[in-house]
Amino acid sequence: MGEYRLDRLGEQIREEISKMILGGRIKDPRVSTFLTVHRVDVSGDLGHAKVFVSSFMSPKETRLGVAGLQRAAGFIQSTIGKKLRIRQFPHLTFVFDESIREGFEMVKKINELDIRQDSGEGTEE
C-alpha cells in the first residue's frame, strides 16, 4: 500500500478514535476526555497500527487512560472497521506519548528565559 494511503488511513483512524473518546463511547472509567490521540502509524501490510496517546494530565493518569484504551481495543477496532469498510483492519496498539507534555514544558522554559533576558536588559540601562 502506498505511503500516502497509509498516512490517510492513519489520519482517519486517529479522527475516529478521537471522536469515540470525546463522545464518551468508550465506557472504561480510566479513559478520560482529556486524552489526545497524537498520531497513528499504520504498518505497510495493514496488520498493525500504533496509536500514540498523550494528555496534559499527570503521566500516571495518562498511562491509566492508555491502559483503558488498550483494554477496549477490540471494541474500538470493530466499531471503526465497520465504519471505514476496509478489507483488513489493523490490530491497534496504544502507546503512551509524552511529546505534547515535553513540548509544552520546552515552550515554558523558553518563555522563562525570554522573561529573564528582558528583565536583565532593562536593569543595565
DSSP calls for 59-88: HHHHHHHHHHHHHTHHHHHHHHHHHHT-SS
Residue extents of the structural domains in the chain? 3-97
70's grid cell: 488498550
- The 10 Å Cβ neighbour count of residue 42 is 23
Confidence of residue 125 (pLDDT cuts 50, 70, 90): very low
Per-residue confidence (pLDDT) for residue 123, from 0 to 100: 47
Segment 34-55, tens digit of pLDDT: 999 999 999 999 899 999 999 8
In the predicted model, what is the mean pLDDT of residues 19-23? 94
The CATH class, in words, for 3-97 is: alpha beta
Above 90 in pLDDT, residue 79? yes
pTM value > 0.85: no
In the predicted model, what is the mean pLDDT of residues 78-90? 89
